[in-house]
Structure 1
């Protein structure tokens, strides 16, 4: 199963307020967006978390990938590891959530309107880990991997993205915003970089 080109290039626009995504008992609070220079130790720590997730789920973990800014050498990042986990059906939470929770993960976000995305947080790593759960053939996983690899390969793209991240962090911190606000501020640059990537791959004209 593989997403179509149209699915891959489509930018998601959520029609739900952020608070709808929080699972009961979880709260979104303002916090300082802290960017740090890349730490080479992140790659090894991410692999340790990947192994932890695979040990918890066995063959139910169809794919586990280190994505996001901490996966890109030379790119400043919030010190948070991002992993994409692919399971057979993210909506079937009983098939995987109890084992992840038993392994120290906390379920924070549920977004059935966005590829059945679930988000969990684990503080058993240094830095902490955010685990994004998607299903087979999810276009978001393909997008994450394509963007990660492009950032690794292209210094000029890393520089443009780094500048956008720093500007978004400064703006969000000045306004007392959240991580969602930080993402929204840098979103125009991120989408422009994605579209350039898609055109180069022949997915967008």
Structure 2
């Protein structure tokens, strides 16, 4: 039993969006090879901040898929041993310059003040992490689904969005369909 699992406590039961909804101008940019270097810089920053912890850090989202147009926001998924032990990961991340944006059951989101990096924190073994990696890896290898996803994003960005979360939710059906194909194509 790890130190964290010995003191596990109840997680939050509601979603808290720190600062409330934010209207943002959303635009897609052609894939930029510098996104990978930006991710690697933040991966090092996160690992340095959490040097005492056993964490997994992965580049996810559209900026992690070569050839895919994206909002220039680097999405990172970070897994920790105990999502409820915020003092083990959240305090060091805040001290290293990230800001808390979302606290909800099983998930925390911190970001840079510039809003160009979002770090999604989950507990090790959370199925959401596997879903992120499944989608990323599938889009990296299947051009037709990469094109479908990009075209969906371009279509949705013709609308005005009062909150980036609403835009993200509007992509759900396409993402679910792509993940279903990805699961079906996995070797058995």
- TMscore range, shorter length: 0.7 to 0.9
Residue of structure 2 equivalent to 1:161? 149
Measured in 2, the distance between the counterparts of 1:161 and 1:35 equals 12
Residue of structure 2 equivalent to 1:147? 135
Compared with structure 1, are the counterparts of its residues 59 and 142 closer, same or farther at alpha carbon in structure 2 (3 Å cutoff)? Answer: farther
Measured in 2, the distance between the counterparts of 1:61 and 1:103 equals 18
Residue 70 of structure 1: which of 52, 56, 63 is its match?
A: 63
Measured in 2, the distance between the counterparts of 1:61 and 1:120 equals 18
Residue of structure 1 equivalent to 2:30? 37
SS of the aligned residue for 2:51 comes to helix
Residue of structure 2 equivalent to 1:198? 183
| Equivalent residues, number | 176
TM-score, with length taken from structure 1? 0.80
Contact persistence 1:120–1:130 (CA under 8 A): yes
Measured in 2, the distance between the counterparts of 1:22 and 1:138 equals 21
Deviation of 1:198 after TM superposition, in Å, equals 1.4
Residue 136 of structure 1: which of 124, 128, 136 is its match?
A: 124
Query: 1:11-90 maps to which residues of 2 (within 5 A)?
Result: 20-23=15-18, 26-90=19-83
Deviation of 1:170 after TM superposition, in Å, equals 1.4
CA RMSD of aligned residues (A): 1.9
Tell me, which stretches of 5 or more residues in structure 2 are unaligned?
1-13
1:105-134 CA distance string (max 9 Å, x none): 00110111xxx100001147xx82100000
TM-score, with length taken from structure 2? 0.87
